[in-house]
Amino acid sequence: LVAGVFDDPQSSEDGVTLSIPITRLPATMGRSHDTSDKNFFGLGSRKVLSRQQCMIYVRDKFGGRLDQKSGSDDFVYKPPPSK
């Protein structure tokens, strides 16, 4: 679960609290739009957001990460890149 406050700098109103259940990794969050990407989570339609505002990965201390292939619910470990 990702929780936070969306604060519009052009508004005098208090920020809106968002709570987004993340169910797939890596998670891409950004401006809501039509997409078939199961890993995308929309944050609203305001143009101040890009369509790929941020991505969330689970990484280990060596730089490897957990990923999910499109169309699968299985996690795959991707080792860190070689130096």
Model confidence at 70, pLDDT cuts 50, 70, 90, reads low
pLDDT at 25: 80
Most confident of 1-5, 8-12, 28-32: 28-32
Among 75, 70, 71, 72, CA closest to 57: 75
pLDDT at 79: 92
Condensed to tens digits (0 to 9), the pLDDT of residues 28-45 reads 888 888 988 888 888 888
Q: In the predicted model, is pLDDT for residue 72 greater than 80?
A: no
Q: In the predicted model, is pLDDT for residue 3 greater than 80?
A: yes
The position carrying tokens 């990923």 is: 67
- Across the chain, mean pLDDT equals 83
Condensed to tens digits (0 to 9), the pLDDT of residues 57-69 reads 888 889 898 887 7
Q: What are phi and psi of 61, to 5 degrees?
A: -70, -10
